[in-house]
Amino acid sequence: MGRRIGYARVSTEDQDLAIQKAALDKDGCAIVFEEKRSGTKRANREQLDLALKVLTKGDTLVVTRLDRLGRSLRDLANIAHEIEQSGAHIRVIEQSVDTATSAGRAFFGMLAVFAQFETDVRRERQAEGIAKAKKAGVYTGGKPRINRREVLQMIDAGQGPAAVARALKVSRMSVYRILKEFEEMKQPA
């Protein structure tokens, strides 16, 4: 019998992983990889990549819910394929899925389709809400972009990053990021 490797994920920094970690510990996970990133895309999910790399034949990757692994059908299928290629299995605690069995693999596939459906429906509802708000004249769009030229002009005029940030109502990190980008552009290739 292989190891149980846990993977816990929340979408934002201010969310807590404690409930997932407790469930994974209770399920006997030897290691738990933790991540605070959106699950809508696979990109930049370093802890998931690490978890997949340590899986060996007979191991089981354990998550509390399928949507902790991913929300797109393609990503879930790719993750399941990677796990299968390493000789390991997936266990989803709350949805009673274990891909070590034929029934578990079939159920995993159905849940993956529903996860994609849920994501699609959420996007449709969001688009409908935005369209309705635009029609009512309420929606003004996302955050305004920072005028990089204005930032650089203010810095050239002798203002410090904190003063520029206050004047433009942006974070100091945004000002520093623009300055860094500008310095990198000036560097010879």
Measure CA 145 to chain center. 23
Burial class (CB in 10 A: 0-12, 13-18, 19+), 70: buried
Closest CA to 97 of 58, 70, 66: 66
Starting from the edge strand earliest in sequence, which strands make up the sheet with 4-10, in order? 31-36, 4-10, 60-63, 89-92, 97-98
Phi-psi region of 9 (alpha: psi -120 to 50; beta: other; left: phi over 0): beta
How far is CA 63 from each of CA 2, 83, 134, 156, 172, rounded to the nearest angstrom? 16, 13, 39, 52, 38
List beta partners, residue 32.
6
Write out the catalytic residue numbers: 11
DSSP state of 66: G
